[in-house]
């Protein structure tokens, strides 16, 4: 079965391509990219005139909630949300129930993904048993089972000695640690960023320093051990400076940023809408500006949504009692196109790179390139489409988004995984 995508603007940062070309796909792999390719007999032809054809977008930070929290999300619904949002692969965090801290849970997630998933699923294993931060999980078995990284995401491994040992132990696997950098003492009982807004509206805040001190620690430990540490959902100007400095000194530190931290500030919390509550919290305008700049210059390596589905009852009540996190898979691309690319804050080619080539490289994942022989995972964008975010239409089981009602220009148009057009 072949697929020919014609006349689209192909942006393939891994191969330096930005031109109107055709893409021919056969047997689940990229066959050729070039001008005026002929359709093989029986090929499905997609007219992508006016559309942008990219390597499939990869979200290396999502919560699929399965096993254990199927009322929030499942592999089936989460991967459909991913496909609807233009993502062809996701890496899912370990804070399921039971925690993905042993090979059996990894096997279960991968089996679910094979049977019920519609995009590629790459599990992330826990660093410590049951995310307790006390003893190492069975990291070698997790790596063998297919975990592409290790993280206690949602919690910070506060014990620096243990985190150092995790870095050392995993060095031979060539798999990074992903750090949820948040000092739990500085961030005790927080619900939002500590600053003028928290003071006014009377909610307990965590200072930016709660993140910065942990990013500093992680960089120092990566330097000590030679390990690759990846900072999850980096959100402060201070952490940007630390990562920039670490990279300049040759430390193996990388970072991701979420769409919400790129476009929203703590001002949004004035509504007391729990869909503005997440960890790390929404920060200040100054932080947002630093994040956008760092994303553009490569200090921040990629964009990840931290898709964190929660049921309505967990998000509709009192702010300080609500769960942390928001869904992101189905809004990310439109939010980024409208709020970063259209105003000229980020070139389209850079955005495509930060969503495809760069995350693939970080976690050594298949994809991220349209080179011949690469997996035929593609994201097609319609840059002119008007999107009004309606959470009721989400494929995700959950609707906890701060972007409901936003009208945005540009969005995902077609998602192709392994040569198959996904209609979620």
Partner 1 sequence: MGWTRKDLLTMRELDAGEIVLLVDTAASLQEIATREIKKVPALRGKTIVNLFYEPSTRTRTSFEIAGKWLSADVINFSASGSSTSKGESFIDTAKNIAAMSPDVVVVRHSSAGAAELLARELACSVVNAGDGAHEHPTQALLDLLTIREKKGHFDGLHVAIVGDITNSRVARSNIHGMRKLGMTVTVAGPPTLIPPFVQELGVKVAYRLEDAIRDVDVIMLLRLQHERMRAGLIPSVREYSRYWGLTLDKLGRHARPDVLIMHPGPVNRGVELSPELADGPYSVILDQVAKGVAVRMGVLLLLAGSKGAAAA
Positions in the binding site for partner 1 (CB under 8 A): 188-189, 194-196, 198-205, 207, 272, 313, 316-321
Tokens describing residue 259? 């769409």
Cβ proximity to partner 1, 51 vs 315, nearer residue: 315
Catalytic-labelled residue, pool 12, 212, 306, 377: 306
Cβ proximity to partner 1, 128 vs 198, nearer residue: 198
Return d(Cα 19, Cα 67) in angstroms, integer.
43
- Minimum distance of partner 1 from residue 292's CB (angstroms): 24
The strand pairing partners of 255, in sequence order, are 231
Alpha-carbon dihedral 342, 346, 350, 355, rounded to 10 degrees: -80
- Minimum distance of partner 1 from residue 189's CB (angstroms): 7
Return d(Cα 112, Cα 48) in angstroms, integer.
32
- Minimum distance of partner 1 from residue 218's CB (angstroms): 25
- Minimum distance of partner 1 from residue 239's CB (angstroms): 19
Catalytic residue list contains 320: no
Return d(Cα 420, Cα 118) in angstroms, integer.
10
Nearest to 364, CA basis, from 165, 146, 65: 146
Cβ proximity to partner 1, 115 vs 318, nearer residue: 318
Q: Do 372 and 14 form a contact (C-beta atoms < 8 A)?
A: no
Q: Tell me whether residue 289 is exposed, middle or buried, using C-beta atoms within 10 angstroms of its C-beta: 0 to 12, 13 to 18, 19 or more.
A: middle
Cβ proximity to partner 1, 334 vs 401, nearer residue: 401
- Minimum distance of partner 1 from residue 282's CB (angstroms): 15
| Other CB atoms within 10 Å distance of the CB of residue 241 | 16
Cβ proximity to partner 1, 97 vs 196, nearer residue: 196
Catalytic residues: 306
């Amino acid at each position: 079965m072949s697929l020919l995508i014609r006349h689209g603007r192909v942006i393939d940062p891994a191969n330096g391509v930005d031109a109107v070309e055709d893409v021919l796909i056969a047997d689940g792999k990229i066959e050729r990219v070039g001008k005026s390719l002929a359709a093989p007999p029986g090929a499905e032809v997609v007219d992508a005139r006016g559309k942008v054809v990219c390597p499939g977008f990869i979200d290396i930070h999502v919560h699929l909630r399965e096993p254990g929290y199927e009322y929030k999300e499942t592999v089936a619904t989460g991967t459909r949300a991913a496909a609807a949002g233009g993502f062809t692969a996701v890496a899912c965090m370990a804070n399921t129930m039971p925690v993905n801290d042993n090979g059996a849970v990894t096997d279960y997630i991968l089996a679910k993904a094979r049977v019920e998933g519609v995009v590629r699923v790459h599990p992330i294993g826990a660093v410590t048993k049951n995310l307790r931060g006390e003893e190492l999980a069975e990291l070698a078995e997790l790596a063998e089972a297919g975990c592409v990284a290790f993280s206690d995401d949602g919690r910070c491994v506060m014990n620096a000695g243990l985190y150092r040992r995790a870095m050392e132990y995993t060095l031979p696997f060539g798999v990074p640690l992903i750090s949820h950098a948040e000092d739990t003492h500085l961030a005790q009982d927080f619900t939002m960023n500590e600053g003028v807004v928290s003071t006014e509206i009377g909610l307990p805040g965590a200072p930016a320093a709660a993140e910065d001190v942990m990013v500093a620690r992680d960089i120092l430990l990566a330097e000590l051990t030679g390990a690759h540490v990846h900072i999850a959902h980096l959100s402060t100007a201070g952490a940007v400076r630390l990562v920039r400095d670490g990279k300049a000194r040759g430390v193996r530190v990388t970072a991701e940023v979420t769409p919400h931290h790129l476009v929203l500030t703590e001002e949004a919390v004035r509504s007391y809408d729990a869909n503005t509550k997440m960890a790390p919290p929404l920060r200040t305008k100054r932080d947002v500006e630093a994040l956008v700049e760092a994303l553009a210059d490569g200090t921040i390596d990629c964009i990840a949504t931290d898709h964190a589905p929660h049921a309505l009852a967990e998000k509709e009540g009192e702010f300080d009692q609500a769960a942390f996190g928001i869904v992101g898979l189905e809004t990310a691309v439109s939010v980024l196109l409208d709020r970063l690319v259209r105003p000229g804050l980020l070139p389209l080619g850079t955005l495509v790179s930060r969503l495809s080539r760069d995350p693939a490289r970080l976690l050594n994942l298949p994809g991220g390139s349209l080179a011949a022989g690469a997996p035929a995972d593609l994201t097609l964008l319609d840059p002119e489409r008007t999107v009004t975010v309606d959470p009721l239409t989400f494929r995700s089981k959950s609707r906890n988004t701060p972007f409901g009602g936003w009208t945005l220009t540009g969005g995902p148009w077609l998602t192709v995984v392994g040569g198959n057009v996904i209609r979620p």
